[in-house]
Amino acid sequence: MAKDKKLVEAITSRDEDFTQWYTDVVKKAELMDYSSVKGCMIFKPNGYAIWENIQKNLDAMFKKAGVENVYMPMFIPESLLEKEKDHVEGFAPEVAWVTQGGMETLQERLCVRPTSETLFCDLYKNIVQSYRDLPKVYNQWCSVVRWEKTTRPFLRSSEFLWQEGHTAHATAEEAEERTIQMLNLYAEFCEKYLAIPMIKGRKTDKEKFAGAEATYTIETLMHDGKALQSGTSHNFGDGFAKAFGIQYTDKENKLQYVHQTSWGMSTRLIGAIIMVHGDDSGLVLPPRIAPTQVMIVPIRQQAEGVLEQAFVLKERLDEKFRTKIDDTEKSPGWKFAEQEIRGIPARIELGPKDIEENQCVIVRRDTREKFVVSLDEVENKLAEILEQEQEDMLARAKEFLYSHISDATDYEEFCDAVENKPGFIRAMWCGELECELKIKEDTTATSRCMPFEQEKISDVCVCCGKPAKKLVYWGKAY
Amino acid sequence: MAKDKKLVEAITSRDEDFTQWYTDVVKKAELMDYSSVKGCMIFKPNGYAIWENIQKNLDAMFKKAGVENVYMPMFIPESLLEKEKDHVEGFAPEVAWVTQGGMETLQERLCVRPTSETLFCDLYKNIVQSYRDLPKVYNQWCSVVRWEKTTRPFLRSSEFLWQEGHTAHATAEEAEERTIQMLNLYAEFCEKYLAIPMIKGRKTDKEKFAGAEATYTIETLMHDGKALQSGTSHNFGDGFAKAFGIQYTDKENKLQYVHQTSWGMSTRLIGAIIMVHGDDSGLVLPPRIAPTQVMIVPIRQQAEGVLEQAFVLKERLDEKFRTKIDDTEKSPGWKFAEQEIRGIPARIELGPKDIEENQCVIVRRDTREKFVVSLDEVENKLAEILEQEQEDMLARAKEFLYSHISDATDYEEFCDAVENKPGFIRAMWCGELECELKIKEDTTATSRCMPFEQEKISDVCVCCGKPAKKLVYWGKAY
C-alpha cells in the first residue's frame, strides 16, 4: 500500500495550493502534456476524450437548433482582418502571422485565425443575395491561435480547440433572439452534461467582444472562488455587415444589411470540470461526460475464474456504459488510486468471494459510497447510481455557487468582500468605465456580467456613489 | 419546366469535359466554395456533412482497432522539423512559416504542420520509458497545410482536413503488422461505406513517404480512368526513433529503439466519391455516407392534407433514416433536379392521389428506378432499396475498376495503353529508378503500387528489358 499512497500524495491538496493542485491533477490524470511549442499544449487521450464527449453532445444540441457545420480556412489575409476596425484592434496584438509559404515570401501576411468573423462575413457577402437565403446558421469546430504571454493548461493557451457559430439574419430582432437562444443552450448544456450551474448575463462595454454590439456570457465559480467565463454569445447588429457589405434584397425588393451573431465555447470547459468537481484525490468527472464511466477492478485476479467473470461482466456492461477493466499486474489499491485520480465515476470491485455470492461492489467516485449489488441487477443499479451521482454533483455545485455570492452596498464592504469572501460579489454600478477601472485597479476584481435577473440592492454605485443603473456580478477571474 | 432543365443543363457532361463536370458538381451541389485565401477552400454544409459521416464511421473502426485520439499543436519549431533528414527534405519546400507572434518576431520560425511525425516523436520520447508503455496507438483529426501551386477542390488544396495516426511499437514485426492492419482497415472502410473498391499495394522507393522505410497505399480509378491515391500507411522502422532518441527498456532491461508507423486519409475521399459515382445529373452519394438519405418531395403541396401527411411521413422515417422534406415554393421538377444534383440516394414523391391510395413513390438516385410502395411498409421497403443501391454502386464501381486494368508486356504496348486505354496498366518492372523516370517522362504515367497479389506476366521490365522484379500498377494520377 505504500506505493498506492505515494500516487495519491503526489497531488497537492486543494486548500494548500489550488494552482499546484490543478497542475498535479491535469498531469497525474494524464489529461495533457506540455509541448516543445511555447504556450501550446498536447491533449492526451484522457483529456481529448472529454472534449470528444463535449463535442458529441453539444453538436447534437446544435443540430436540433438548426445549426449547420462548415469548415473555413485557418488563414485570414491581413486586409480581410482589417475590415472591421474594432475587431482588428482587439485581435491584432495577439495573432500569429504567416509570412512565408514554401520558398516564397508572401505578398500579404496571413494571420492564423484567432476567431473567424471576418472569413464568415466574406462568405456571407458572396452567398447571401435575397431574403430567401436567410437565415444562415453556420458553425465550425476547429482550433484557433491567440499568442498568449502566460498560459495554463485548458484555461489559456496559445492554441485551443473550440466551436464558433456565425449567423446572418434578416432582422435585428431575429439576431438578438439567436444570440440569447445560443446562450441559453450553452447554460443548459453545462448544467445537464457538465453538472455546472451558470450565471447568465450581459457583459459591460469594457468586457464585450471586439466588434460586438452586445456580448452575453455564462459565468461560474471554481472551487477557489474565482470566476470562469465559460461561453459567450455576441450580437453584432449590422456593424460587420456594413464593414463587409453584406446586403440582401427584402420582400419589397429593397436592399438591407444583414444582422449577425457569433458564439463560442472551448476546451476551457475541461478546466471548469476539473476545478468545479475535482477533490484531493484527483479528478471527479460527471457520468454523462466521462469517457470511461465504469472501471472494473478484479480482486485477487490470479484466483481461478475471477478475470473470466470480470470480462463477462464487462461485456454485459459494455452495452449500456462506457466500461473498462483494469487487468494489469498492479495491486488493487494502486488501481483504486488511479481510477480515483482519473475521476472515473464508478468502480466495480469483483473478487472470488463476490463471485461466490453472485454480487459485486460498486463504489461512487464522488462520495466513495459503497453498494453491494447482486450481479443479476447490476445494470439497473449502476444506471441508478450514475444518475444519482450526476444529480448530486450538480446539486453540490449549485450549493457551492449560491453560497459564494455576497452582496456589497458600499465600497468598504465591496473591497472587504473581494479580499475575504471568495466568489461573486453583487453590487450596483453607475454604468461608467471609470468605476470599472478603479475597481479593477484597487481590487483586481472585474465585472463578470450584468445578470438577466436584475434587482436593485441599493440606489447608488458601489464605487462612486452616483445613481446606480445596473446590478453587476463582480469577481476575480481566470 | 424550363427552369428545371436549366439547373441540370448547367452541369457539363462527364464525357465532354470531365474536369469542368467536376467543378460544376462541387459548386452546384453546394459542397464547397472558393475563399479569399489562395489555395484554401470553404467546406459548405453539404460538403462538410459528408466529412462528418466519414469521420464518425472511420473513427468507430479506429476505436475498435485500439486507436486513441489526441490533439497535438498545429505548429512545429523549425529545429524539430529538421531532426529527420529525409523528412524535412520532403516537406520543407511546401510548408507555411509563422515568423511573428503578436507584436514580436519569433526567435525560431514555426511551420504550420504539413504532417505531425516530428511532434509525435517528441511526445513519445518523453512518455515512453519501458516496454510497459508500448504500444502507443494515437491518432488525431485535424487540418494540415501544404503550400500547393495548383489546387483543385477536395483533391489538392493548401489546407485540408485529415486524420493522421502515429504509433510506436516494441518490435519491427509489430510495427509492420500495424501498418498493414490500418491499410486493410482503410480499404474495408472505402468498400463498405463509400462503395469504392481499392487496389492495395506497396509504393516504390521513389513514391514513398519522406522518411519511411515502406509506404503502402490504396489506389482506385476515377470515372475518367485516372488513378487516385486514397490512403497511405507507412512503416518507419526505427529511423525516426534514432533521429529523436525514442528508447525503451525491454523485459531484459536493455535499451531498445521503438519502431513506428503512421497512416492517413483525408477530405480527398470526398473527391473520390464524386468522381467514382457521380453522373451527368450531378452527385450520387452512397446511402451509408449520405448526409441526407431521403428527400420527401410533396406533389401539389397546396392541396389539402398533402404537406401534413408529408410531415407525418418524415417523422416516421426520421427514426431510421436521415430524412429531409422540401416544402419550399419551388416546382416539383425543380426539387427533383436539386435532389439529383445533391446526390440524395432516395426521393419520395407524395401527392393527393398517393395519399388517397395509401402509397408513395420511391425513386432511386443511381438508377432512377421507381417503386410504388404502400405507406404501411415504407420503412422496410426504403431500407431494402437503400441497401440495394449501396450494393449496386459498389458492384458497378468494381466492374468499372476491373474492366479498366490492362496488361502490357512491351514498351510499345505500354505507351499505347497509357494513351488509349484509360485506367491502370499492369506491367513488370526491373526495380530501377531510371525506368520509373523514363516512363513518367515519356507517358506522364507513374507507378501507383506494387500490388500485394504479385504475378509474373512477363520475364522482363516493360521499359528496359532487363530481368523483371515486380509487377506494378501504372497510371496517370490525380
Q: Quick one: chain B helix, strand, coil %, rounded to 5?
A: 40, 30, 30
- Looking up cell 534514432, which residue turns up? B242
The reported pLDDT for the residue numbered A6 is: 59
Count other C-beta atoms under 10 Å from residue A135's C-beta: 20
Subunit contact B37:A99, Cβ cutoff 8 A: no
From CA B296, how far away is CA B314, in angstroms rounded? 7
With CB atoms and an 8 Å threshold, state whether B48 touches A42.
Answer: no
In the beta sheet, which residues pair with residue B161? B143
B97 to A100: CB separation less than 8 angstroms, yes or no: yes
CA distance B239 to A299: 42
Query: Among partner residues B93, B98, B122, which is closest to A112 by beta-carbon distance?
Result: B98
**How does pLDDT run across A60-87, given as a tens digit for each residue?**
999 999 999 999 999 999 999 999 888 8
Q: How far is CA B83 from CA A244, B76, B78, B194, in A?
A: 44, 11, 9, 38
Q: Is B71 within 8 Å of A99 when comparing Cβ atoms?
A: no
Strands of A415-468 (E only): list them: 424-429, 446-451
Chain A: give the shortest CA distance to residue B49, in Å: 7
Please judge whether B98 and A97 are an interchain contact, meaning their C-beta atoms are less than 8 angstroms apart: yes
Cell numbers at A206, concatenated: 469594457
Cβ-defined contact of A71 to B112 (cutoff 8 Å): no
Of B378, B377, B348, the closest CA to residue B365 belongs to: B348
Instruction: Choose the closest CB to A43 out of B36, B44, B71.
Output: B71
What's the angle, vertex CA A121, arms to CA A117 and CA A126, rounded to 5? 155
Residues of B in contact with A103 (CB under 8 A): 93
Q: Which residues of A touch B127 (CB under 8 A)?
A: 33
B33 CB neighbours in chain A (<8 A) are: 123, 126-127
Mutation choice for A interface testing from B28, B42, B162 by most A CBs within 10 A: B42
Residues of chain B positioned with their CB less than 8 A from the CB of A96:
75, 98, 100-102, 110
Cell numbers representing residue A216 in the block: 452575453
CB nearest to A98's CB, from B43, B77, B96: B96
Residue that the C-alpha cell 450549493 belongs to: A399
The half-sphere exposure of A199 on its side-chain side, counting CA atoms within 13 A, is 30
C-beta atoms of B69 and A52 within 8 A: yes
DSSP helix/strand/coil, B16: coil
Q: Measured between CA atoms, how close is A245 to chain B, in angstroms?
A: 15
| Number of other residues whose CB lies within 10 A of the CB of residue A259 | 28
> How far is CA B133 from each of CA A5, A199, A301, B136, B165, rounded to the nearest angstrom?
22, 43, 22, 7, 17
Please tell me which residue of chain A has the smallest CA distance to B93: A102
- Cell digits of residue B206: 521513389
With CA atoms as reference, report the closest residue to A244 among A107, A117, A72. A117
Which residue ranges in chain A fall short of pLDDT 70? Answer: 1-9
Q: What is the DSSP string of B179-225?
A: HHHHHHHHHHHHHHHH----EEEE--GGGS-TT-SEEEEEEEE-TTS
Residue A195 corresponds to which cell in the numbers above? 453538472
The DSSP symbol for A141 reads E
Running DSSP on this structure, what letter comes out for residue A468?
P
Nearest to B97 among A80, A99, A161 (CB): A99
Rounded CA gap, A16 and A14, in Å?
6
First to last CA, chain A: 37
Q: Searching chain B, which residue's CA lies closest to the CA of residue A127?
A: B33
B51 CB-near residues (< 8 Å, 6+ apart): A71, B43, B161, B267, B270
The DSSP result for A57-109, as a single string, is HHHHHHHHTT-EE-B--SEEEHHHHTTSHHHHHHHGGG-EEEEEETTEEEEEE
CA distance A66 to A70: 13
State the count of interchain CB pairs (< 8 A) between A and B: 148
CB A41 within 8 A of CB A145: no
Q: Which of B70, B102, B142 sits opposite A45 (nearest CB)?
A: B70
Residue numbers in A near B338 (CB within 8 A): none
How far is residue B453 from each of residues B467, B471, B472, measured CA to CA in Å? 19, 9, 10
Residues of B in contact with A60 (CB under 8 A): none
Give the number of residues written for chain B: 478
Instruction: Give SS3 for B23.
Output: helix
Strand partners, A234: A215, A262
Cα–Cα distance measured from residue A171 to residue A238, given in angstroms and rounded to the nearest whole number:
9
Q: Which of B90, B127, B132, B67 is nearest to B263 (CA)?
A: B67
How far apart, in Å, are the Cα atoms of A334 and each of A2, A297, A339, B115?
9, 10, 9, 38
pLDDT in tens, chain B (478 residues): 344 455 556 899 999 999 999 999 999 999 999 999 889 999 999 999 999 999 999 999 999 999 999 999 999 999 999 998 888 888 888 999 999 998 899 999 999 999 999 999 999 999 999 999 999 999 999 999 999 888 999 999 999 999 999 999 999 999 999 999 999 999 999 999 999 999 999 999 999 998 999 999 999 999 999 999 999 999 999 999 999 999 999 999 999 999 999 999 999 999 999 999 999 999 999 999 999 999 999 999 999 999 999 999 999 999 999 999 999 999 999 999 999 999 999 999 999 999 999 999 999 999 999 999 999 999 999 999 999 999 999 999 999 999 999 999 999 999 999 999 999 999 999 999 999 999 999 999 999 999 999 999 999 999 999 999 999 999 999 9
Helices (H), A248-377: 268-277, 306-318, 332-341, 352-356
Q: How long is chain A?
A: 478
Of B73, B93, B119, the CB nearest to A102: B93
pLDDT at A153: 96
Q: If residue A348 lies in a helix (H) or strand (E), which one and from where to where?
A: strand A346-350
- Quote the pLDDT of residue B3: 45
Site of grid cell 426521393: B347
CA A348 – CA A332 distance, rounded (Å): 11
DSSP state of A337: H
Tell me which DSSP letter residue B369 carries. Answer: -
Cell of B447: 507507378
Cα dihedral across residues B432, B434, B439, B440: positive or negative: positive
Contact between B465 and B214 under an 8 Å Cβ cutoff? The reply is: no
Nearest residue of chain B to residue A93 (CA atoms): B102
Interchain CB distance below 8 Å, A98 and B112: yes
CA distance A142 to A119: 14
CB contact under 8 A, B73 and A145: no
Residue of B nearest to A328 (CA): B132
Single-letter amino acid code for the residue at A148 = E
CB contact under 8 A, A159 and B69: no
Q: How far is B412 from chain A (nearest CA, A)?
A: 39
State residue B2's pLDDT score.
42
Give the position of cell 465504469. A294
Q: Smallest CA–CA separation between A440 and chain B, in Å?
A: 25
Residue tagged 507555411 (cell numbers):
B96
Residue A269, C-alpha cell as written in the block: 470547459
Q: Among A30, A34, A35, A117, pick the best mutation site for testing chain B contact (most B Cβ within 10 A).
A: A35
CA distance B68 to chain A (A): 6
The residue of chain A nearest to residue B46, with distances taken between CA atoms, is: A70
Q: Beta A424-429 vs A405-407: how paired, if at all?
A: parallel
Q: Which residues of chain B are within 8 Å of residue A161 when distances are taken between CB atoms?
A: 71
CB contact under 8 A, A48 and B41: no
Strand pairing class (B323-325; B294-298): parallel
| Chain B residue closest in CA terms to A46 | B70
Task: Report DSSP letters for B387-444, one per residue.
Answer: HHHHHHHHHHHHHHHHTTEEE-SSHHHHHHHHHHS-SEEEEEE-S-HHHHHHHHHHHS
The alpha-carbon gap from B113 to the nearest alpha carbon of chain A, in Å, equals 12
Which residue among A73, A101, A159 sits closest to B35, beta carbon to beta carbon? A73
Among all residues of chain B, which has the CA nearest to that of A31? B70
The span from the CA of B96 to the CA of A99, in Å, is: 8
Closest Cβ opposite residue A75 in set B40, B95, B109: B40
- The pLDDT value recorded for residue A102 is 86
Given an 8 Å threshold on Cβ–Cβ distance, is B100 in contact with A96? yes
- List beta partners, residue B97: A100, B111
Interchain CB distance below 8 Å, A98 and B77 = no
Is the N-terminal amide bond of B135 cis, ω within 30° of 0? yes
Which of B40, B44, B99 faces A100 most closely, judged by CB atoms?
B99
